[in-house]
Structure formats: C-alpha cells, structure tokens
A and B are shown apart, each in its own frame.
Chain A
Amino acid sequence: MTVNDVSEAQVIEVTTASDNSEVGRWERACLLTDLFPERGAAALFGDVQVALFRLPDDPAYAAHGGQVYAVQNLDPFSAANVMSRGIVGTRGGEPTVAAPVYKQVFSLVTGKCLATADKAPKDDLPPDLTTYPVKIRDGVIHVNLP
C-alpha cells in the first residue's frame, strides 16, 4: 500500500492545539478528506490565508504522522501566497514544506525557516512562518485564528 491510503478512522480526533489555543477563534476550514495527504491546500478566512497540510500515518513522520498542520500561506521570501503549493517532506525527521518559489525549507510544526537558500525575506518579512493550531472533529478541520 502507498501512504495515500491513510484511512479516515485513524485521524478522527486529532488536535495540535497548544496551551493558548483557546485564546483566538476556531474557524471551520474543510473536511479532512478534502486534503490530499502530503500535498497542501490554501484556506481563506477574511483576508487571512492559511496553508493546510495533512501528513500520512507513516513511520517517517513519527508522532506527526496522521496530523494536520496549518501555517501562513504567505511565503516570506517571495511575498506571494503560495506556501500551500510547496513540496512536503522531512529534514532530520522534522516534517517540512519547501517554498515553491525559491525553495526555502520550513518546519511544518514550528514554522521555523530551516534553510534560507542564500536569500533574505522580501519586504522585511520575518523569515519564520506563523503556525495555527488545528483540531479535527467529526472529520472536519478547524483552524484557530488569533
């Protein structure tokens, strides 16, 4: 079997909410099944664009397997809203996404920029990505926005 065959049953109730996750508001994004595993999708909340990533339940992702992560869709190095279109993978076991424009690598878990590819962010944007808490209830993905 390939990792695309992740069954929904494995990820019915998962959250990556941090301690202050109840501070903001929870917004419904989409169904879990709307996301292709290991491929991002953008979600729009007013003016805020969020990139969602669903990781397959593969040993390579260890505890992150089967989870959904949300980071800002804005790529700090191109100032285009494209992070959802990056390639997902791992770097030393850390789940990552690579910016599709200039290939910087970011942690999906912490948002930290792990490789700048010898470039500086555009328009003085901070190099790291904002992350958003995610919870999945009844197969629906919710994102916590500040």
Chain B
Amino acid sequence: MVNSGDSQHLVVIGGGMVAQRLVEALRARDDAGRYHVTVFAEEPRAPYDRVGLTRWFAEGPEGIALGDASLWADPHVTLHTDRKIESIDREAKTVTDRLGNVHPYDELVLATGSSAAMPPIPGNDLPGVFVYRTIDDVAALRGWVEEKRRSYPAGKPVRGAVIGGGLLGLEAAGALTALDAQATVIEFGTHLMGVQVDLGGGQALKRLINGKGIGVRAETATSQMRPHKRTGHVGRLDFADGGRLDVDVVVVATGVRPRDELARAAGLPIGERGGAVVDLSCRTEDPNIWAVGEVACIEGRCIGLVAPGNTMAEVVVDRLLGGLAEFPGADTATKLKLSGVDVASFGDAHARTEDAVEVVWADPVAGVYKKLVLSDDARTLLGGVFVGDAGPYASLRPMLGAELPGDDPSAFLLPEGGGGAPNLELPDDANVCSCNSVSAGTIRGAVTEHECTDVPGVKACTRAGTTCGACLPLVKKLVDTELERAGIEVSTALCEHFDMSRAQLFDAVRVADLHSFSDIVGRFGRETVAADGGGVAKGRGCDICKPVVASILASLGNGHILAGEQSTLQDTNDHMLANLQKDGTYSVVPRMPGGEVTPERLIVVGQVAKDFGLYTKITGGQRIDMFGARVEQLPEIWRRLVDAGFESGHAYGKSLRTVKSCVGSTWCRYGVQDSVGMAVELELRYRGLRSPHKLKMGVSGCARECAEARGKDVGVIATDKGWNIYVGGNGGQTPRHAKLLAEDLTSEELLRTIDRFLMYYVRTADRLQRTAPWIEEVDGGLDGVREVIMEDSLGICADLDAAMARHVENYEDEWKAVLEDPEKLRRFSSFVNAPKDADPSLAYVEERGQRRPATTEERASGVVIAGPKLEVRA
C-alpha cells in the first residue's frame, strides 16, 4: 500500500460494478496520487458484470470479468473481498469490518447496491426458492436444478417458475432455459417488462419469449408457494385466480431494495422508498460521505441501472479531485438481448408527455414491434420502444430531445434497407455510450485529435463500447464518417501490388476462376511506374501478397503448393515444407493426429532424430519437433518418416496445425466421449487446409477440459449429450478464450458446423487475422457468425459445405508427393554447384545433452563442438 504523508484515504463500501467504475475513474484521473482507495466487498471476489450474470453459465467467471484485472494490483488501490463493513463512525471517521478491524477514512463512498426483494408470499422460505442477484445465487440455482435432474428419471424435465416479468425476471428465465429447465414467467402486471416497454411491445415480447420455449402468465398474483409432500421442497405455486403450477424450482425477481442499512445506522437521511439521500454532487448530508449506484437516492429515487450508477461514480471522482460535476439526470435507456430476443427502450417509452404522438411499426408474424414517441408536432424525439429488432436503437437513442431530420419519422422504423432513413448527424453532446458516458464529440475527437484510425483504437482511447457493446455499430459509423471527413483513407490494400484486402481478393479469384499468380496480378494487380522509367506495369508481387495468393490458390484447390509458378509464391517454410530456424536450418514435425502415436512410430522418430543429430522437443500441440535439419537433409529425413507411415504435420503452413486432445472416455474415469477419436477425425479431415493464419483445435472428453480446448480457434468439449463447440480462442501474444457457438451437437452436426466455420473464416478473414479478431469484425460478431453458418442467413452454407468436401477429397500428403517427383526434389539442394554440401557456416554447442546453434560469442571463443558435418548415419 502506497501511503505517502499527504495522500488521503478514500474508503469505498461495496464491491460491485459501480465501485469498480469509481476506482477506475479515480486511477485514470488522479495522476498525482492524491488518494489511496480501499474497497471493501462483501462477496468473496472482485467486482464482476452483474448485468451479464447469465453468461456465467456458458462462459464461467471469465465471461463476466469486468475491466482490466490489473486495476486491483495498482499500488494506490487495496481490495478486501469477503469483508463486509458492519458500521460507520462519522465522528471518528472510521469504518469497522466484520472482523472487528477499524479503518480510518478521509472520504467515504457508499456503493452497497441493492439486495433482491423477497415479497411476503407464504412459503417464500421453502428450499428451492431462489433470488437472482449474485454469482452465489446463480451457482446455488444451478446446483439445485442439477440435483433435481439427477433425482428424476431420464427425460423428466425440471420445472421452473420465475415470479416477476421485469428485466431481471426474464434474465432468470433465460438462465433456467440455459440450465435445460422449463421456465414459466409469472407477471403481476399487464405485460412483460412493464417499466421499460408499453403494452404493444410487451405483447410482441411475450410472443418472442414463448417462441423460445418460455411460458408467460401475465396479470397473475402468486398467493402461496406450497411444499412438496414428500421432500418438503417447493412443489407448487397457487395463484390468486385459482390457478396453480407444479414446480421444482422458483426464482423470485420482483425487484430490488437498496442496501441502506449502514446509512440508516449512521443517521444519514434516507429516502421515502429507501436509499441514502444525496444531492446532485452525490454527497450525503455528511460532507465526507458520498453514495453512488443503487443505494443512492438521487432526485428523490433510487435507480436500478448500471449506467446512471457509473455516471454517479464519475461525478464523485470529479468532486474528490476538486471539480464541480453534477449528476445530469438518469439515462434510463435499456437494451438487452434475452435468449436471442432484442429489447430496447429509451426516454418516454409510455408516451406520458402531454400530447405526445406515437408512431408504431409492428410485424406480429416476425415478432417485431417498434415505436417512436414524438412531440405533438411529430418532430422532436421523446422516446422509443423496440422489441424483436433493436436495429434503430443505437442511432436513435442519442437523438433523444432533438429534432429528427426528414419529413417522415416512420422511415426510422422500417426494416433495414426498406425505407432509406435519413442519415443522422449526431450533435457532439449526444451520449453515444451510456455505460461509460462517452459523447459523439469525444468519439470524433479520438479520431481527429488522438489519431485513432479504427474502432479498437477508439475503444481503448475513449472506453466507448467497452461495457455492454450495444453502441458499437454507432461508434463504428461515427469513426468511419470522421475518418472519411479527415481524408484518412482506411486502406485495406494488401500491399503496393493489390488494392484489395485478402477477403476481396479471395472472392475475386474464386469468381473469376483464376489459377496462377500471373493471371491474378494481370487481372487485379495495381499498375505502378517502374523505377527506371521503363513504363507502367503491374509489378511482380512481394513477400506480402505472394504468400496471400499462394494461400488463396491452395484454399481453392490448385494442386501441390510447389507445382509450377505456385512454388515461387511460397514463403521459405512452405517452399521447404519445414520451419525455418534462426541459423537457416529447419525443423521437422510429422503429423501425430490427436497427439496419438504408436510405440513403433515413436521409435522411428527417435531413430531419425538420432541419426541426423536433430534437437528434439515436444510441442504445445502434442507432437514432436526435430530441429537443425539442413535443406539437403529434408528429403532423406522425410523418406524415412513417410516409409514409417508419417505424413506432413503442416507445422510450416498457415493452415491447420494440430487437434490437441485429452485421453477421453476410452481410458479416463471421467471422460464422457471419445475425445481422441474425435480429435483424430477432425485432424484428418482438416489437415492441409490453408487459412489466413495458423489454426489450432482441441477436443476435451469432459467438462474438466484437460485438452485446454477453449484456448484454441475451435474447441470441442464433450457433454453427456454430444459436443459443445467453442470458437475464437488462442494463446500467443493476445490470449483469448473461445466462446460458445453451439451446444450438444451430434458428431455429424459438429463436423458440419466446423466445416462451415472454417470455410467462412478462410474466405473472409484478413491476412494474418486469427479467428478471434475475425469474429469481432463479422457483422453481428459471434451471433452474426452463428446466423451465417447455423441458420444460413447468407444462403452460402451449401457452397461452404461443397468447398470443404472438395478439400477433404483432394487432400494429399505434400511430402509424399515431393518424394515422388524428381523436379520438386531438386529444390532441396544446399548449393546449386554442390547440392549435397552442408552450409559451412553452421556451428553448434551441446546443451543438456543435445546440440543447439552456437552464439556469436561462442563462435568467437571457439567452444563450438561441431560444425555442420557432425555426421550421421543415413
């Protein structure tokens, strides 16, 4: 803990999302280190994304991680988890934690949030009745559902009910569905999400939610929860209208109540419906005590949304640092996606403004309902509701209170491409990212003043779109417009020879049916003036575009990569079918599908390595790499490997590398599927597939995930019903966890899904773009990819399937083909005038029983143990 003499101590009570925002904002602005901040969290963990709690099921803690974890390692920040504060002593300016430790403060912020309210329904304390607020709640709910399922005969569903049809209730219903339980939502009011959405929207929402297999009972009061006779667990709900519903689990989501007990005990003023009363600076009656988020009663009410809470956190930080910021009023705009259903609302969604005009566009068949609320002259935007298609939300919400351009506001509600809505020019002060309060002007400034040239840059610079991401389409539009305005061309040109991006070139080559670099550069290349003034010509490519074209030709099936002119396009790795090392020698990796290898073949690998003096190492992909092979040795090495039944491992290619696997159900006590068998099948199916970047896969035989499949571009994890597929993971410099694409697929469905995922990636990704950033750039992100390859939204699936079928059919072992072709073998000469002579400059020293290249110093000092001709039994 850094505590210089004049630094003040800021104590934050509560470890939720708003507390995190407050610490982030303080650390971003308090350059001089005026404050040391200590956060006391009641939960045993750092702040997480409570709004995304449902993601925890599919993605685990990682899925709901919040911000940069290094925040808590900052020397100016201390985080105490599992450390509830029991009391505040305003006189002494101290707080006392649950262990009895007393902590002094200079400034104190209450960020205790809310607790889930439990309505006084008889039976609400029965086992099996849950609330939905914290990770612990969600974990307990999952445990309960799984326990119930185990106690039932196979196939009997676990029946769940959610009391409360608001935002939280629908989240909870989604969670039950994710747990494979039935879900019925019980709503007391007339329709779902009554706070945010009007009746028409609520009805559209009900149809969509029903379509997801979730039941809805509106206008229903629950009068009692009854225990099951035998188990004593909750077993039935009785309704006031005489109806009843058998249940195994109940989630109560009827609202939240501010956690204001500390404020009450400390004698601070409390609002009529609870919450610590604060002024617009978020300060309580006590000049050194502030309140932010759901516990703050501001402008007479508590607000249960994260965006206004974040704004309060920013206000307090500004005040602590001597600023005069005031809470600008709550932006209660909401946008969420529940089991794939888009719902959004903002402003005066219920048209309560006097003489307000409502413009509605509804398509009950498609389950779409869109409404704008306008002033009486039908010009000024007062609010909106979107169900089933939240497309217009991102661009309309920032226009709240402004006049809409054009004559016909309904144009904004028509389906995309159907109406030609006027382009919205947002005012600079329009709030684009409500989670982080980033205005259109700030985003424009990131481009014009901070030289950001893309969305990731602007995200990093302004924090726009880093929380819920709903505003990203708008951010992208603003960035693109601003770049265009600044005359900054966003070039996707590959290099000086091609104006196209890799994806564009791929399509062009495919459609034009071209098969050689000469034809491709002749048709699509850019004309340049020769340096010697020799006239205008197309150029002959370079080390950027030639390997790209080589990869495109290979992906489209153009025979052996060393055939004819194609051989001139290959980077040295592909040209020598081996991996270049720092001293100019190569490493050799035979394929061992799924990491499986027989003892006989393992012995061959060992013997080859021994005979050629190769350094051996096990790779991360469960195979063996042999280093130090010279160009002229490669064919001899491979002849022995091929004779033993090995084939190229494509370790040298931008192509499928390995499919890593755990041992799976054939040996493992816990495995539920044959992961090695599946890994072998996948590796043999996709071997040799050329792609924009290297590709790795993994298959785990159970949820313990020993194959680390979620660190791969395609990860497959066995379930007791089939396979879950995750996509977009990688290690390396920017590690990424793969995200869930689909669940419980059969083996056949799994192959088809991977076929399409890979082919779509191969066709549309940029040069050297791995799957994770590619998925981010696909329209709609992971959901967009899912729509394309699982719902065939672009109508290209048949084409993708056919392309993969061709790949599988035309596969040949590249090394075997080389060994059978004297013309190709001729490339593997050390010197054109001495084809079998070793490079005389090579030098090695021994280390840990093997040889490695000598360093410059070792060469100079003469400790080199062997030159290149350390020979070898051939």
Interface positions of A (Cβ within 8 A of B): 2-4, 28-30, 34-39, 41-45, 47, 49, 52, 58-63, 74, 78-82, 85-96, 98, 100-101, 103, 105, 122-123
Contact = CB atoms under 8 A, between A and B. Distances in A.
Interface string B584-617: 1000000000000000000000000000000000
Given A2-B516, A29-B833, A60-B540, A89 B572 contact: no
Contacts of B489: none
A62 B535 contact: yes
Contact of A86 (B539, B569, B572, B831): B572
Contacts of B831: 41-44, 49
Given A60-B539, A89-B546, A94-B531, A38 B568 contact: yes
A122 to B, nearest CB: 8
B821 to A, nearest CB: 14
Given A44-B833, A81-B584, A89 B532 contact: no
A64 to B, nearest CB: 8
Contacts of A58: 518, 540
Interface stretch (B40-48, B106-114, B118-126, B834-842): B834-842
A87 B542 contact: yes
26 contacts: A2-B516, A36-B568, A39-B568, A41-B829, A43-B832, A43-B833, A44-B837, A44-B840, A52-B832, A59-B538, A60-B537, A60-B540, A62-B532, A62-B534, A62-B535, A78-B584, A81-B841, A86-B572, A87-B543, A89-B497, A90-B540, A91-B496, A91-B542, A92-B529, A93-B529, A100-B580
Nearest to A3: B518
Contacts of A105: 542-543
A81 B538 CA distance: 31
B500 to A, nearest CB: 17
Contacts of A96: 542
Given A44-B831, A58-B518, 7 more contacts: A38-B568, A39-B568, A42-B830, A81-B841, A92-B528, A100-B572, A101-B584
Interface string B845-874: 000000000001000000000000000000
Contacts of B833: 28-30, 43-45
Interface of B: 496-497, 516-519, 521, 528-532, 534-535, 537-543, 545-547, 564-565, 567-572, 575-576, 580, 582-584, 827, 829-834, 837, 839-841, 856
Nearest to A55: B540
Q: Which 4 A-B pairs have the closest CB atoms?
A: A62-B534, A93-B530, A80-B584, A98-B543
Contacts of A123: 856
Contacts of B516: 2
A88 B568 contact: yes
Contacts of B517: 2
A121 to B, nearest CB: 12
A89 B541 contact: yes
Query: Binding site of B, secondary structure by majority: helix, strand, loop or mixed?
Result: loop
B572 A42 contact: no
A38 B827 CA distance: 13
Contact of B534 (A34, A52, A63): A63
A81 B497 CA distance: 28
B546 to A, nearest CB: 5
A60 B538 contact: yes
A45 B584 CA distance: 19
Nearest to A41: B832
A59 B527 CA distance: 11
Contacts of B583: 80
A90 B541 contact: yes
Given A2-B518, A29-B833, A41-B832, A100 B582 contact: no
B403 to A, nearest CB: 51
A106 B856 CA distance: 24
Contacts of A74: 841
B98 to A, nearest CB: 55
Nearest to B516: A2
Contact of B839 (A35, A49, A122): A49
Given A42-B831, A63-B532, A81-B841, A90 B542 contact: yes
A94 B534 CA distance: 10
Contacts of B547: 87
Contacts of B572: 82, 85-86, 100
B441 to A, nearest CB: 35
Contacts of B582: 78, 80, 101
B840 A47 contact: yes
Contact of B565 (A3, A44, A63, A93): A3
Nearest to B542: A89
A49 B841 contact: yes
B564 A85 contact: no
A91 B583 CA distance: 27
Contacts of B832: 29-30, 34-35, 41-43, 52
A93 B528 contact: yes
A101 to B, nearest CB: 7
A82 B543 CA distance: 15
A61 B528 CA distance: 11
Nearest to B580: A100
B517 to A, nearest CB: 8
